[in-house]
Chains A and B, each alone.
Chain A
Amino acid sequence: MSDIFNIFVRSVFIDNMVFAYFLGMCSYLAVSKDVKTAFGLGLAVSFVLAVTVPVNYLMDKYLLQAGALSWLGERFAAVDLSFLSLILFIAVIAGIVQLLEMVMERYLPALYMALGIFLPLIAVNCAILGGSLFMQEKNFPTVIHSFSYALGSGLGWLLAIVAFAAIRERLKFSNIPVPLRGNGIAYIITGLLGIGFMAFLGI
């Protein structure tokens, strides 16, 4: 139980998707102009991560890994399909995002109005695919661990983009050297935030 909680805390603060691995930077930079939209996108990313990573975990465990097909019978025990994992993961992600979009539109129109516009963006957000790939690399023992990791990473990403958007709102009023305005200062701030987050190392 405690290691599940550990994984969660670790993935929010220490292995933060944005600050430690620079994942999902494109949408992070593009959609952080104001806090409200940033929060919406952050929620959508957390949601999609929490759904896709466990699904991909099961895919990996029962379909792709060396020996994963042994449940089909002895003859399949030696099959190693792990070279196909990239393609399958991305297909699962694209499929689930599409599915979520349709389900939300039909049954949860309010939520759809809030998150819907972000969903298509998310299929190509590297944080989502990154979540699945790191999950594969970390070799979690159960699907619960992978869920905890996914939720933590998603919330970490949410935290990063909201913090950054809040800073950006203030930045509008500050006097920045002209060539540095826009992207330049955005990168530098992200870097400084990242250094701040490094203080969590070793928890």
Chain B
Amino acid sequence: MKSYSNTYMFLYVSALVVIIAVVLSLVSLGLRPRREANVQAEKALQILKASGYAHVERAQAIVAFDSLAEKESSRSDGEMYRIRCADGSTGHVIPLQGKGLWGAIWGYAVLSDDLTTIKGVSFAHKSETPGLGAKITEEAFECSFEGKKLYDADGHFVSVKVVPKGKGEAIAEKNRVDAISGATITSRGVDKMLADGFQRIKE
């Protein structure tokens, strides 16, 4: 076996590190615009979905979004927009952030002009269980929020509750949606996320 001097080993590793760092920096810089565009497009797609535009191509998402939405205000947890929905009416886009079972969940809710009725929602998650918690991003769950009210019959703020099927009789139909069976924690997370988000709008 050949023996190597310490200087050789040190230089060897140093040279390797420098080469790798330089190549990776170049790649990272080169791809950055694409990565950022992806993040932007993802957000635009989500908001468009909540506003009723079901099938927008990713490539057109940003252009479509810019033509339909207008920024209202910036907050610590995201930006509020005013958007023209697919049915021709206008609404407010509310950013939502919360925690699911395994990690972060987030989304957008589109509220009617008077901020009392949900026109649509879209959710996303970092790492919920596929087939269980991950169902919050499915159409069936998201659609169940349409037309729900943030206030009860007496005009008190109640948010929209996510409760297990058959356990929410005490809450009026218009103030609740069915939770996803088998995904209790994720559903609770959505419930809390909505309550937090709407509470801030109320204030």
- Using a CB–CB cutoff of 8 Å, the interface residues on chain A facing chain B are 15, 83-84, 87, 137-138, 201-202
Contact = CB atoms under 8 A, between A and B. Distances in A.
A202 B184 contact: yes
A201 B28 contact: no
Contacts, number: 15
B103 A84 contact: no
Given A137-B103, A201-B101, A84 B24 contact: yes
Is chain B's binding surface mostly helix, strand, loop or mixed? helix
Interface residues of B, number: 10
Given A137-B103, A201-B101, A83 B24 contact: yes
Contacts of A15: 102
A19 to B, nearest CB: 13
14 contacts: A15-B102, A83-B24, A83-B25, A83-B28, A84-B21, A84-B24, A87-B20, A87-B21, A87-B24, A137-B103, A138-B103, A201-B101, A201-B185, A202-B184
A15 B21 CA distance: 33
A201 B186 CA distance: 11
Contacts of B20: 87
Interface of B: 20-21, 24-25, 28, 101-103, 184-185
B103 A202 contact: no
Nearest to B27: A83
Contacts of A201: 101, 185
A15 B103 CA distance: 11
Q: Which 6 A/B pairs are nearest by Cβ-Cβ distance?
A: A83-B28, A202-B185, A83-B24, A202-B184, A84-B24, A84-B21
A48 B61 CA distance: 46
Contacts of B185: 201-202
A158 B184 CA distance: 29
A145 to B, nearest CB: 15
Contacts of B25: 83
A84 B185 CA distance: 34
A137 B103 CA distance: 9
